């Protein structure tokens, strides 16, 4: 099995597993039985519309239930990753997203949307890898992935120096410059998900969204993410 599984239960891997189990189909789990909402009422259902080139340098302020932290993004570090996160934040993708996986002394991971239809829409919206130009040091932020060229929407903050992730191709696009104490304080009590722990089961979270996250009421949540120049 891919050695990333015990290290990062990432979005692409979880969705691949969901496809094998049938858990990915949100039609049975979404709040509406009438099919996906109209894209005009939920722009996030059209990933192809979010292709704008990011500035060479910008900051993202994440306001969470634990406090605020700020990520300084360098497009020169990871061009495709910076462009993707810029578009996601501008579109409001991370607003209301739980920080679903915090492994003390390893990473804090987020990016599963509370709307299952949005998760389904972005499942195949992958971006190619960037060269690893900076190390996954403490405070650095990278996209999760299950294999080469499989990045989508889930990102993680390194809670320690993780040089082994450099060799696995995780390319940081930015670093926390304010509020690392907030990141350290994010709720970690649920631990890892199955099969290594009893925390959030990502395939279920992707398929059921907010309904499933309600079973983990202590998770911290991103209230809002905004771009700052």
For 73-102, the pLDDT digits (tens) are 999 999 999 999 999 999 999 999 999 999
26 by Cβ neighbours in 10 Å (0-12 / 13-18 / 19+) ranks as buried
Please list, residue by residue across 61-82, b when 16 or more beta carbons sit within 10 angstroms of its beta carbon and e when fewer do.
bbbbebeebbbbbbbebbbbbb
Number of domains in the chain: 1
Q: How confident is the model at residue 42 (pLDDT cuts 50, 70, 90)?
A: confident
43 within some domain: no
211 within some domain: yes
48 within some domain: no
24 within some domain: yes
Residue 67: per-residue pLDDT: 99
137 within some domain: yes
What 3-state DSSP class applies to 180? helix
Across the chain, mean pLDDT equals 88
80 within some domain: yes
Is the pLDDT score of 40 beyond 80?
A: no
Is the pLDDT score of 164 beyond 50?
A: yes
- Rg (Cα) of the chain, in Å, rounded? 16
Judged by average pLDDT, the poorest of 11-20, 37-46, 48-57, 148-157 is: 11-20
CATH of the domain at 80: 2.40.100.10
Residue 38: per-residue pLDDT: 73
What percent of the chain shows pLDDT beyond 70? Answer: 83
Owning domain of residue 175: 11-30+58-228
174 within some domain: yes
Is the pLDDT score of 203 beyond 70?
A: yes
Is the pLDDT score of 60 beyond 90?
A: yes
127 within some domain: yes
């Amino acid at each position: 099995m891919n050695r990333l599984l015990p290290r990062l239960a990432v979005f692409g891997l979880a969705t691949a597993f969901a496809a094998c189990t049938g858990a990915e189909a949100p039609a049975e789990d979404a709040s509406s039985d009438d099919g996906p909402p109209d894209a005009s009422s939920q722009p996030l259902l059209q990933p192809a519309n979010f292709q704008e080139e990011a500035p060479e340098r910008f900051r993202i302020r994440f306001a969470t239930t634990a406090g605020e932290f700020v990520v300084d993004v360098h497009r020169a570090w990871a061009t495709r990753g910076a462009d993707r996160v810029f578009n996601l934040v501008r579109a409001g993708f991370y607003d209301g997203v739980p920080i679903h996986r915090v492994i003390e002394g390893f990473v804090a991971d987020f990016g599963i949307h509370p709307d299952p239809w949005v998760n389904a829409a972005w499942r195949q919206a992958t971006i190619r890898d960037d060269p690893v130009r900076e190390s996954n040091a403490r405070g650095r932020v990278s996209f999760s992935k299950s294999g080469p060229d499989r990045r989508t929407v889930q990102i993680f903050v390194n809670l320690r120096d993780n040089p082994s992730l450099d060799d696995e191709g995780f390319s940081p696009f930015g670093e926390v410059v304010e509020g690392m104490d907030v990141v350290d304080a994010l709720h970690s009590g649920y631990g890892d998900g199955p099969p290594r722990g009893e925390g959030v089961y990502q395939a279920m979270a992707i398929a059921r969204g907010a309904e499933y996250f309600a079973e983990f009421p202590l998770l911290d949540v991103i209230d809002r993410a905004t771009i700052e120049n």
